[in-house]
Amino acid sequence: MSEPTDYEWVDCSAVIADVYLLLDSECDGDARARLQKHLDDCGACLEAYGIEEKIKSLLSRKCGGEHAPAGLRERLVLEIRRNVVVRGPDARN
């Protein structure tokens, strides 16, 4: 087996930092392949990935159906309108 190139090599800290990108399918195909290869070869990272996957699943099950109170959106819009000043194109800072 040949030595990995810099492009193929991914260290454990980078894998752990990007584990949610992988879990959420937010990385491109090349990054996914590199991360998956590392997980396949590194038991410690695979274990950490599994723990994060379980936490994400638990949070989704326990918090996924939560909805904000009905009047919250209206109150937020009102507060934003009170605090935001809209200036026209000719206005000076």
pLDDT, tens digit, 9 for 90 and up, residues 39-70: 999 999 999 889 989 988 888 888 776 677 88
- Rounded to whole angstroms, how far apart are CA atoms 38 and 48? 12
Model confidence, pTM? 0.54
* DSSP 8-class letter at 81: H
What per-residue confidence (pLDDT) applies to 22?
Answer: 87
Whole-number mean pLDDT of the chain?
Answer: 79
- Rounded to whole angstroms, how far apart are CA atoms 66 and 69? 9
How many Å separate Cα 84 from the centre of its chain?
A: 29
Listed in sequence order, the DSSP H helices in 42-71 are: 43-63
Both tokens of residue 49?
């990935």
